[in-house]
């Protein structure tokens, strides 16, 4: 099914815990970076081609977010939707008709005007390319453009998270139909060209790409909003987080946007030349359980394991100040606080008895992909070893991790992993990670009663009722003890002093709004 394939691409590539951004650049030091009016940043990995309708990775969202805009966005550090290229919107009582009033006076970077026809063409291009993000528009029945500034989307059935899809960093980007037509080759909708160029309405233009080496942004002279402060934003590829940190400390890069450890954060703050920000995020660290495990396939063993995990102590040991103990099923902000509680009592005494029949058995604790998950896996290994299991720890690659759903033989007994969704909507979490057969339900747990509630929640016309059903679904998923939440992780960003305007949004991880960054 196409939606499953698309969602697999989505989560395989949007797990930002695995990905580090860092600022760096050619010499000049802190003063040099400011005086040259260039902001120096870096990727931990070279991003895939940056066509916004097929791009579905973490490294690179900072670029697509700077050169393209969507109809909606989230307020900084908030789940609240706010205008972007749409100034207002209405939803019909039956939940199937969405009417958007569009911002006037906006031009694309090629100088052509943005209007309802351009919005429709952009949405149709997203569907035609059938890339990872195309699942967001699978429920669309038709479009209408009653005026140049009015765009109507008709859905096949109500879909509560639809507006959140439009605000997602992977949501439908608005692209210039004129440029798409001009650069199209052999019916590719200009996909080859947009892999290394841009055709958006954002504050920057992707002006140069040396694939895998350097990526350069320059201001969009037609941008409708406040002009960016930096005339050039350059990215190079710096895979090693330690190198990134040293460059930041040395003054030759401007920020590290992910991948640092707690000790790195403490050292940078102590140095006095760097500000370390801990932004709220939709990032949850957890231990997943294989329901077919010889040891943990038993519900009673899973429950004992859950009650043996002290979220407060584990969070302190693994993350320090970079996370809070998880107390709710969904990432914070998706539902009103306390709507879907998940705070099992801590009682380590039960685990020894539960594991007694399995003494000497081998179990594998997998982890992906950052050092924090390695540390969590190691802590669990020590606990299980003390209780008589022959526990080993194995690091999984991204390719292995995201083929587990289709290849059960790859699945470990336990898996330590950090995950995030596309948007601030419970459905974008549960449908991807918990639902039976979901492409990123990697260990194959199934709770059919919860699946039914989740589907019912998505079809509601009342957000309140949808949230109630989503909370009920979460309660049943959590009762399976297949997904053991541990920590709600902050998005930690280190920025050299002298830069202001560090703006962050909940669905964005490892990325900031480049146009808002300014030298003091």
Can you give the pTM of this predicted structure? Answer: 0.88
What domains are defined for the chain?
45-237 (3.40.190.10), 281-490 (3.10.105.10)
In this predicted structure, what is the pLDDT of residue 36?
64
Split at pLDDT 50, 70, 90, the class of 376 is very high
Mean pLDDT of 247-267: 89
**Beta-bridge partner residues of 237:** 43
User: CA torsion sign, 279 to 282 to 283 to 284?
Assistant: positive
In this predicted structure, what is the pLDDT of residue 371?
86
How far apart (Å, rounded) are the C-alpha atoms in residues 131 and 127? 8
Check whether 375 has a pLDDT greater than 90.
Answer: yes
In this predicted structure, what is the pLDDT of residue 435?
95
State how beta strands 390-395 and 362-368 pair: parallel
Split at pLDDT 50, 70, 90, the class of 200 is very high
Residues 6+ apart with CB under 8 A from 397: 368
Check whether 158 has a pLDDT greater than 70.
Answer: yes
How far apart (Å, rounded) are the C-alpha atoms in residues 215 and 234? 6
State how beta strands 518-519 and 214-219 pair: unpaired
């Amino acid at each position: 099914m196409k939606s499953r394939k698309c969602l697999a691409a989505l989560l395989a590539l949007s797990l930002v815990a695995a990905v580090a951004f860092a600022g760096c650049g050619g010499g000049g030091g802190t003063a040099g970076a400011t005086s040259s009016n260039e902001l120096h940043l870096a990727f931990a990995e070279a991003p895939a081609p940056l066509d916004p309708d097929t791009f579905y990775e973490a490294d690179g969202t900072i670029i697509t977010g700077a050169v393209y805009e969507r109809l909606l966005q989230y307020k900084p550090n908030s789940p609240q939707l706010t205008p972007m290229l749409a100034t207002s919107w209405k939803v019909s009582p039956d939940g199937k008709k969405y009417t958007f009033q569009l911002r006037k006076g906006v031009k694309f970077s090629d100088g052509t005007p943005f209007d309802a026809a351009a919005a429709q063409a952009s949405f149709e291009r997203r569907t035609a390319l059938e890339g990872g993000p195309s699942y967001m528009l699978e429920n669309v029945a038709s479009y209408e453009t009653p005026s140049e500034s009015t765009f109507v989307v008709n859905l096949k059935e109500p879909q509560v998270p639809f507006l959140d899809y439009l605000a997602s960093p992977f949501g439908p980007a608005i692209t210039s139909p004129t440029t798409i037509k001009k650069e199209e080759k052999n019916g590719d909708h200009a996909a080859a060209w947009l892999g290394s160029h841009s055709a958006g309405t954002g504050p920057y233009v992707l002006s140069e790409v040396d694939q895998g080496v350097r990526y350069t942004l320059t201001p969009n002279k037609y941008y409708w909003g406040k002009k960016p402060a930096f005339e050039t934003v350059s990215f190079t590829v710096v895979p090693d987080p330690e190198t990134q940190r040293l460059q930041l400390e040395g003054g030759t890069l401007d920020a590290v946007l992910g991948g640092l450890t707690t000790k790195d954060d403490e050292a940078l703050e102590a140095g006095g030349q760097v500000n370390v920000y801990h932004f709220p995020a939709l990032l949850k660290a957890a231990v997943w359980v294989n329901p077919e495990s010889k040891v943990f396939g038993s519900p009673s063993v899973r429950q004992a394991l859950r009650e043996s995990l002290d979220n407060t102590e584990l969070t302190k040991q693994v993350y320090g100040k970079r996370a809070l103990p998880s107390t709710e099923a969904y990432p914070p902000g998706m539902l009103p606080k306390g709507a879907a509680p998940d705070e099992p009592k801590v009682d380590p005494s039960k685990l020894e008895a539960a594991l007694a029949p399995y003494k000497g058995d081998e179990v594998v604790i997998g982890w992906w992909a950052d050092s924090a998950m390695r540390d969590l896996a190691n802590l669990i290994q020590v606990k299980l070893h003390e209780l008589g299991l022959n526990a080993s720890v194995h690091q999984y690659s991204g390719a292995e991790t995201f083929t587990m759903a289709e290849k059960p033989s790859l699945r470990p007994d336990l898996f330590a992993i950090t995950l995030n969704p596309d948007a601030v909507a419970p459905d974008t979490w549960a449908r991807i990670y918990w639902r039976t057969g979901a492409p990123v339900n990697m260990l194959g747990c199934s709770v059919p009663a919860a699946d039914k509630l989740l589907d019912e929640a998505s079809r509601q016309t009342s957000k309140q009722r949808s949230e109630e059903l989503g909370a009920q679904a979460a309660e049943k998923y959590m009762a399976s003890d297949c997904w053991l939440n541990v920590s709600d992780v902050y998005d930690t960003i280190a920025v050299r002093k002298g830069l202001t305007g560090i703006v962050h949004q909940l669905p964005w991880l490892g990325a900031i709004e480049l146009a808002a960054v300014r030298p003091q």
